[in-house]
Structure formats: C-alpha cells, structure tokens
C-alpha cells in the first residue's frame, strides 16, 4: 500500500504530523512522535497508558531505528539492517513499545508480534512444521523470548525458539530478513537457555537495547 504522506497519520479524525517531507525524505521530530505515540498507546492499551519520561531514551533509540535515521543510529551504535532485542525487567513496557513503534512508519513492512510461549505450545501440537512456518520471509517480533517452556512432541524434547532463531539467522544472512524480540533475560541467561551457538548468532541478528535493571513495573 502506497502512502503519499507517511509522515502524517490520522487517528480518530485527528491528524498527527510526525515531521516534514523534504523531497523524498522525512525529517522526523521526536517530540511530535512522542505525542502521537501517547495518543496511539491510549487507543491500543486504554486510558491509563502514558509515555513515561524515564523511557524517552529507550524510545529515542527505537524511533530512530524504526524510521531508519542512519546518521543518528550510527551515533547510537545501532545497525538499522539488524533487528531489535529489547530487554528489561518484567512490566517495564517492552511489549507495549514494540507494538507501538510499528505505527510511526505506515509505509514500511510491519512485523507480527508473537508470544514465544504460543510458538512452543503450537510445537507440542503440530511438531516441527511450526519451526518451518517461522522460517519464512515475514518480519516477526518474538515476545518474552527465553521464558517459554521446552517443546515436546511425540516424546521428543526440542528447544523450539532456539531452532527458530538459527533459521532466522540464516534468513538474515542470505536475505536480510529482520527478526525482533523482547526478553526479561540478560545475555548470560539467554546463553544458558539457548546455548553458545544460538547466542553468538543472536549477536549478529540483533541490536541490543535494554531498560535499566531498576525500571519500575508499570503494570502495578
């Protein structure tokens, strides 16, 4: 779908201008993006949703990545060709932010957000075809990576998400297909969960963006 003015988004009869169109390039305004995300967040998650000032630094990185601001991403140490691994403690807002930032770029291919536990449960029912299913060229964000149960099909155990990450790594190398994820685990815990082989490929697959360990639980 072609968007003649992708920097102007309409929600509920109101227009939100996220920046200015200069030729074929959009000069985004971070403050205007924040204002739009605050509105969109309430529409998606309810009236209690808000953008917290303490999260502006994380959002600045995510938004510059999402709009492919190459210059700023380079300064931030972010590679726009890779996916995002957003880490942080339970309830800090990882899932909400990954759901939200898709909406600031309606002219880009969106990613589907899939709970990792749902994939593991699906494996228990239908087996290895679920791994093949996520080896396609679509963009995904695997939510709550690392806390999903081990898969078990006809008596055989399988580290389902570990296998999927390996196949997504091949897709990234060969076709630049992006994969995103959220996780509550740190690097050591991810390696314990998936092994060194998968962890090393995750370094190639993802930009790591992390909330502070002390980030509050916004669900309370």
pTM of the model: 0.94
Residue 139 has pLDDT above 90, yes or no: yes
Name the nearest CA neighbour of 210 among 76, 68, 46: 76
Distance of alpha carbon 203 from alpha carbon 85, whole angstroms? 10
Query: In the Cβ-directed half-sphere of 99, how many Cα atoms lie within 13 Å?
Result: 15
Give the model's pLDDT for residue 2.
57
Give the C-alpha distances (Å, rounded to integers) separating 165 from 30, 79, 204, 212.
Answer: 32, 19, 11, 25
In Å, how far from its chain's centre is CA 109?
13
Residue 3 has pLDDT above 90, yes or no: no
Q: What is the pLDDT of residues 20-72, one digit of tens each?
A: 998 888 999 999 999 999 999 999 999 999 999 999 999 999 999 999 999 99
Percent of the chain past pLDDT 90, that is, above it, reads 86
Residue 118 has pLDDT above 90, yes or no: yes
Helix, strand, or coil (residue 124): helix
Distance of alpha carbon 176 from alpha carbon 83, whole angstroms? 10
Q: What is the pLDDT of residues 158-192, one digit of tens each?
A: 999 999 999 999 999 999 999 999 999 998 999 99
Q: What is the pLDDT of residues 71-81, one digit of tens each?
A: 999 999 999 99
Helix, strand, or coil (residue 114): strand
Percent of the chain past pLDDT 70, that is, above it, reads 98
182: tokens are 């959220």
The full set of domain ranges for the chain reads 8-210
Distance of alpha carbon 9 from alpha carbon 28, whole angstroms? 13
Distance of alpha carbon 160 from alpha carbon 63, whole angstroms? 30
Pick the CATH number of 8-210 from 3.40.50.300, 3.40.190.10, 3.10.50.40, 3.40.220.10: 3.40.50.300
pLDDT band at 220 (very low <50, low <70, confident <90, very high): confident
Give the C-alpha distances (Å, rounded to integers) separating 62 from 14, 74, 76, 202, 210.
Answer: 24, 13, 11, 18, 11
Please enumerate in sequence order all residues whose Cβ is within 8 A of that of 80, keeping only pairs 6 or more positions apart, or say none.
65, 68, 70, 73
């Amino acid at each position: 779908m072609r968007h003649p003015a992708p920097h102007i988004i309409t929600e509920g009869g109101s227009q939100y201008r996220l920046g200015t169109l200069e030729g074929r390039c959009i000069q985004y305004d971070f403050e205007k993006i924040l204002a739009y995300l605050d509105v969109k967040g309430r529409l998606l998650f309810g009236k209690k949703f808000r953008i917290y000032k303490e999260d502006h630094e994380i959002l600045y990185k995510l938004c510059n990545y999402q709009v492919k601001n190459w210059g700023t991403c380079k300064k931030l140490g972010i590679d726009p060709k890779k996916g995002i691994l957003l880490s942080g403690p339970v309830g800090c807002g990882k899932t909400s932010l990954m759901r939200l930032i898709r909406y600031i770029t309606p002219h880009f291919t969106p990613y589907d957000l899939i709970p990792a536990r749902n994939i593991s449960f699906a494996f228990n029912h239908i087996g290895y075809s679920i791994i093949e299913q996520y080896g396609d060229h679509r963009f995904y964000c695997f939510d709550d990576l690392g806390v999903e149960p081990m898969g078990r099909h006809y008596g055989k155990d399988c580290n389902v998400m570990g296998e999927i990450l390996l196949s997504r790594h091949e897709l990234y190398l060969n076709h630049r297909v992006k994969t995103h994820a959220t996780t509550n685990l740190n690097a050591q815990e991810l390696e314990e969960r998936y092994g060194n082989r998968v962890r090393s490929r995750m370094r190639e697959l993802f930009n790591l963006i992390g909330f502070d360990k002390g980030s509050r639980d916004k669900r309370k």
